[in-house]
């Protein structure tokens, strides 16, 4: 095979693996952002963080009704605790995502992208 | 206080040892969910002689089915096997489950996190996934959105949660009725197959329970479910870290490497799952 074509195909293969890994890191990040409260599931989004932060700033901290991922209402008895928890989880997940993504960018071959013995 | 647990079905055929998958699943359920696992099987004697049964809470014996279908099981893009498919009569789980609150899962789901356990905190009595994420980047999900192009919403009977309530009893009786009269429901729901699939039976039953429209009978299982098809391969499995070979688009027999960490994955290629389980002494 022509050497230039071989290199292009090798790079093509690398990019497919790279893009898939990048997508799966995002899926992992999104899964890590799921937070459960008394049977309700919340996806920790920037919108949720901003909204809850706004309510806390306005002094609405006890017995606040939020809607979960399924649009069902749930009463949150201590919104400050809820806020601290979602902030912690968000940044914990985001930092892990960043570390994994930085490591991925440094890898220049299919073998190094996937941790496989 | 009600008792809680996981129930898994294992009806072996001449090619696939579902019991072995259940043993691994039971260990993972203990590790990540701290829940007991009971096995419903048509080969209870084999379970007792071949494996360490202490991983199971209860072994529930059922009669083997004689009328099971013969189906094609793929093992990657290039290999396939034909064998009996006995993954039916799931509706009997309502009566057979020893638990008041039960998670039912396929034996080929590799549990890697604790999300399933939040189902027990839900106020809702029936939870099921209406979507699952394909690990492959290019495949479309159309066949998993509706049970056919002109029919109703698709639900995954792979993993679900139920409480023993009158409403759920009615639901499982309905699933049983649909299975028994499946050729009729194939026509009504415009399915292009005559093979009964639990996913189809559950999807149709949910549609009926909702008053023949979309509704609130079924609620979403917590967490997310991921899957590979039987044309992909599970290549390595170490605790929460799974490595896969995913079939390439338009290049038969070629694969792309991919890995997951901490994600629950439904491994539809049962042969590759078996090979991974064979690498470790199962009774350790």
Question: pLDDT for B74-121, tens place per residue?
Answer: 999 999 988 887 766 789 999 999 999 999 999 999 999 999 999 999
Backbone angles phi, psi at B267, to 5 degrees: -95, 95
**Nearest residue in A to B117, CA atom:** A39
Q: In B, which residues are within 8 Å of A24 by CB distance?
A: 135, 258-260
Q: Using CA of residue B175, residue B177, residue B180, residue B186, what is the dihedral sign? A: negative
As a whole number of Å, the CA-based R_g of chain B is 18
**Structural domain includes residue B27:** yes
Q: Give the A:B interface size as CB pairs under 8 Å.
A: 74
Q: Which domain holds residue B27?
A: 4-278
Q: Are B123 and B165 in contact (CB under 8 A)?
A: no
Asked if the model's pLDDT at residue B284 lies above 60, the reply is: no
First-last CA distance in chain A = 29
Q: What CATH number is associated with residue B160?
A: 3.90.550
Rounded to 5 degrees, what are φ and ψ at B206? Answer: -65, -40
- Residue B36: CB atoms within 10 A of its CB come to 19
Query: Is residue B54 one of the residues assigned to a domain?
Result: yes
Summarised one tens digit per residue, pLDDT across range A53-86 is 999 999 999 999 999 999 999 999 999 999 999 9
Mean pLDDT, chain A, rounded, equals: 92
Average pLDDT over residues A31-54: 97
Residue B221 located in a structural domain? yes
Facing A31 at nearest CB: one of B118, B259, B263: B263
Domain count along chain B: 1
Residue B284 lies in a domain: no
The whole-model pTM stands at 0.93
């Amino acid at each position: 095979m022509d050497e230039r074509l071989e290199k292009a195909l090798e790079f093509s293969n690398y990019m497919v693996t790279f893009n898939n890994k990048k997508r799966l890191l995002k899926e992992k990040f999104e899964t890590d952002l799921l937070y459960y409260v008394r049977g309700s599931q919340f996806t920790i989004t920037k919108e949720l963080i901003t909204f809850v932060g706004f309510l806390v700033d306005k002094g609405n901290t006890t017995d606040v009704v939020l809607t979960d991922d399924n649009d069902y209402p749930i009463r949150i008895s201590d919104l400050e605790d809820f806020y601290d928890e979602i902030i912690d989880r968000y940044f914990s997940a985001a930092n892990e995502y960043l570390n994994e993504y930085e490591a991925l960018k440094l890898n220049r071959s299919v073998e190094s992208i996937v941790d496989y013995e | 206080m009600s008792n809680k647990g996981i129930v898994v079905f294992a009806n072996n055929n001449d090619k696939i040892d579902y019991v072995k998958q259940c043993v691994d699943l039971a260990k993972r359920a203990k590790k990540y969910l701290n829940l007991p696992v009971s096995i419903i099987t048509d080969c209870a004697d084999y379970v007792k002689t071949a494996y360490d049964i202490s991983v199971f809470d209860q072994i529930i014996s059922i009669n083997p089915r004689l009328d099971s279908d013969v189906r094609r099981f793929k093992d990657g893009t290039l290999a396939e096997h034909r064998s009996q498919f006995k993954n039916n009569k799931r509706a009997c789980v309502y009566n057979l489950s020893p638990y008041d609150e039960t998670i039912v899962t396929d034996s080929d789901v590799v549990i890697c996190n604790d999300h399933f356990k939040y189902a027990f905190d839900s106020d809702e009595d029936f939870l099921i996934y209406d979507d699952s994420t394909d690990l492959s980047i290019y495949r479309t999900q159309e066949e998993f959105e509706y049970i056919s192009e002109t029919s109703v919403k698709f639900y995954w009977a792979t993993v679900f949660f139920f409480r023993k309530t009158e409403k759920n009893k009615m639901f499982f009786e309905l699933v049983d009725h649909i299975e028994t009269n499946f050729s009729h429901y194939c026509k009504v729901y415009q399915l292009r197959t005559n093979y009964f699939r639990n996913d189809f039976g559950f999807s149709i039953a949910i549609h009926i329970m909702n008053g023949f429209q979309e509704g609130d009978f079924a609620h979403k299982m917590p967490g997310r479910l991921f899957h590979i098809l039987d044309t992909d391969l599970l290549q390595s499995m170490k605790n929460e870290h799974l490595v896969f070979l995913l079939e390439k688009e338009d290049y038969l027999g070629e694969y792309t490497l991919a890995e997951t960490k901490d994600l629950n994955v439904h491994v539809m290629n049962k042969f590759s799952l078996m090979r991974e389980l064979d690498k470790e002494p199962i009774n350790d």
